[in-house]
A and B are shown apart, each in its own frame.
Chain A
């Protein structure tokens, strides 16, 4: 069973595609890490799947349902949650209010939303102690935690994270990854863009290497150990590309 099937995706800004014909899928409980050099189109790929950037070609299927033509807010309804890299919280809203907005789709019942907020807060002890604080006053790490927590409010099937550990202190990087691991363990399919390749290889179940908008390599971290990743980052194509299989 796959929760996310991306097929032949092309996307970009204006008339210019940045991502060309990328296909992959994500299974429940798996962490798929998207790695690649700067400007390879990792964020664009994520945004196009999330509906923030228009899809120029290909399709996105979430849990058996084609969401390619849905607006971003409707993709969320289908269980596809996206956490952008920056500006990923509502700064003038408190932590609890941010979570309530994450749970907007849960409906008008205050009690149901409040119950879910408590469940999510129980999962993020760092946020629970700061729940009345305005999100704009949180540390960078807390903010990224809140962004993830906000996305989890509606029990998504697929969670997409754009560099959730960028710019964080090492202690916090470990914390964020621990949270991601346990979210995956609950059966959510995770697609994550990560700059730190070593970290990605430790936690991911699958790795996608994107170079110049194309999928250069795809496989488990163990498969990838065979390649000279730094050369691949510079654009060298692997002779026995796994794509050819």
Chain B
């Protein structure tokens, strides 16, 4: 299994596992709570950076590696630190953005927050080493001899973490909190009139989602051993949203399936032969395919391939009684005409 194909499979599985985590997390904020979180990859990055600097040794100016902390902690602690850091920044973002805004305005606020975060991290070299990013991050179970087969070494870690977080996500989906989230997503006015503190509820969902993102980011930094701003361009968010929309909003298994589709596209383009004069061609093709895929899914079936009922019964928009639907339509119509 250490053949080229075998390693490709192991690498693809690790990538899939990490994207699955990212998707399961976004499924909490976007899928279940309906927050159009375009800044989502910022939190993946925060997790990666925090996880990295907690596990790394002190900064070393001689190799131009500047960063905060440098605690030399074991990697499981660093993963938890990544989750906590991302959750904390998520709380901050939530306090700013999650007010009663038009959902597209909220998305723009998140987008702008992403831009500010990106500028802060790339321009201040003392934080996470600026544009160069972190490198020499200690990798779990890494030895001099297993460097070539490292995907196989890392895969069990991803599997264990993914299983734990999927179990947590499923529990969340079926819990009272999960039902409340969907209620807030489907009819915030109704939820508020029933006394639900909707801002608080959405901020909580945001923190949970960001913590998931943080874990995924920390895994990325340990798998690659390095992390820099090119890993979290704003367009990476499209991959995560693609996974959720392919699988259906608010459904953990759907998110897992969607992540599989997206990750297959991402890893599949590696088979396209590299052309020297156009070194970024495979990356460009991946971007184009992801964009087209997401647009097609949005066009064909905005609710996703699996409905939210996959596995569980929940109330969603489609079960509203006709009276409410007609009242809504007429009030919208009245506001427009």
Seen from chain A, the residues whose Cβ lies within 8 Å of a Cβ on chain B are 12-16, 18, 43-44, 47, 52-53, 84-87
- Taking CB as reference atom, which chain A residue is nearest B334? A86
A-B interface pairs (CB < 8 A), number: 30
Give, as a whole number of angstroms, the nearest-CB distance from B318 to chain A: 12
Identity of the chain B residue whose Cβ is nearest the Cβ of A87 in the assembled complex: B337
Top 6 A-B pairs, shortest CB-CB distance:
A13-B329, A84-B337, A16-B326, A13-B326, A16-B322, A52-B337
The chain B residues found within 8 Å of chain A, CB to CB, are: 322, 325-326, 329-330, 333-337
Residues of A within 8 A of B336 (CB): 87
Given known pairs A14-B322, A16-B322, the reply for A47 and B329 (CB within 8 Å) is no
Interfacial chain B residues near A44, Cβ < 8 Å: 330
Q: Which of A14, A43, A85, A87 contacts B329 (CB 8 A)?
A: A14
Residue numbers in A under 8 Å from B322 (CB-CB):
14-16
B325 neighbours in A (Cβ, 8 Å):
13-14, 16
Tell me if A12 and B326 are in contact (CB < 8 A): yes
Could you say which of A18, A52, A87 contacts B326, with CB atoms under 8 Å apart?
A: A18
B interface, over-half SS: helix
Q: Judge whether A14 and B326 touch: CB under 8 Å.
A: yes
By CB atoms of chain B within 10 A, which of A13, A15, A43, A53 has the most? A13
A12 to B333, CA, bound (A): 11
- Set of chain B residues within 8 Å of A84, measured between Cβ atoms: 337
Bound form: Cα–Cα A236–B336 in Å: 34
Interchain Cβ contacts under 8 Å between A and B, 6 examples:
A13-B329, A13-B333, A15-B322, A84-B337, A86-B337, A87-B335
Q: In the bound complex, how far is the Cα of B335 from the Cα of A180, in angstroms?
A: 25
Apart from the given pairs A14-B326, A52-B333, A84-B337, 8 other A-B contacts in the complex at a CB distance below 8 Å: A13-B333, A16-B326, A44-B330, A85-B334, A86-B334, A86-B335, A86-B337, A87-B335
A79 to B334 alpha-carbon distance, docked (Å): 23
The smallest beta-carbon distance between B331 and chain A, in angstroms, is 10
Q: Once the chains bind, are A53 and B326 in contact (CB under 8 Å)?
A: no
Shortest C-beta distance, A107 to chain B (Å), equals 26
Task: Given A12-B326, A14-B322, A16-B326, check contact A53 B333 (CB 8 Å).
Answer: yes
Q: Which residues of B contact A43 (CB under 8 A)?
A: 334
Docked complex Cα distance between A45 and B306 (Å): 39
Q: Is the CB of B337 within 8 A of A47?
A: yes
B-chain residues with CB within 8 Å of residue A13 when the two chains form the complex: 325-326, 329-330, 333
Closest-by-CB residue of B relative to A88 is: B337
- CB-CB under 8 A from A16, the residues of chain B are 322, 325-326
> What's the nearest-Cβ distance from chain A to residue B70, in Å?
57
Among B322, B334, B337, find the residue whose CB has the most chain A CB atoms closer than 10 A: B337
Which single residue of chain A is at the shortest CB-CB distance from B328? A13
Q: CA of A88 to CA of B293 in the docked complex: distance in angstroms? A: 41
Name the CB-closest residue of B to A44.
B330
With both chains docked as a complex, state the minimum distance between the C-beta of B215 and any C-beta of chain A, in angstroms: 43
Docked complex Cα distance between A47 and B336 (Å): 12
* Residues on A with beta carbons closer than 8 Å to the beta carbon of B326: 12-14, 16, 18
B335 partner residues in chain A, CB cutoff 8 A: 86-87
CA distance A12 to B327 in the complex (A): 11
In angstroms, Cα B337 to Cα A53, docked, is: 10
B236: min CB distance to chain A, Å: 38
Complex: how many Å from CA A44 to CA B322?
Answer: 17
The smallest beta-carbon distance between A56 and chain B, in angstroms, is 13
Distance of B11 from chain A, by nearest CB (Å) = 49
Q: How far is the CB of B335 from chain A (nearest CB, A)?
A: 7
What distance in Å separates the Cβ of A179 from its nearest Cβ neighbour in chain B? 22
Measured in the bound complex, the distance between the Cα atoms of B337 and A44 in whole Å is: 12
Contacts of A87 in B (CB 8 A): 335-337
A124–chain B nearest beta-carbon distance, Å: 23
How many Å lie between the Cα of A47 and that of B337 in the bound state?
10
Within the complex, what minimum Cβ distance (angstroms) separates B73 from chain A? 57
Complex CA distance for A12 and B323, rounded to whole angstroms: 12
B-chain residues with CB within 8 Å of residue A53 when the two chains form the complex? 333
| Closest partner residue, chain B, to A53 (CB atom) | B333
Nearest-Cβ distance from residue B317 to partner chain A, whole angstroms: 13
* A47 / chain B contacts, CB cutoff of 8 Å: 333, 337
Interchain CA distance A175-B142 in the complex, whole Å: 87
- Which residues of the other chain, B, contact A14 by a CB distance below 8 angstroms? 322, 325-326, 329
In the complex, what distance in Å separates the CA atom of A43 from the CA atom of B335?
A: 13
The answer for the CA separation of A14 and B326 in the assembled complex, in Å, is 7
Query: How far apart are the CA atoms of A17 and B53 in the complex, in Å?
Result: 63
Q: What is the CA–CA distance of A47 and B332 in the complex, to the nearest angstrom? A: 14
Residue of A nearest to B337 (CB): A84
For residue B76, give the distance in angstroms from its CB to the closest CB of chain A.
Answer: 53
- Closest CB of chain A to B140's CB: distance in Å? 55
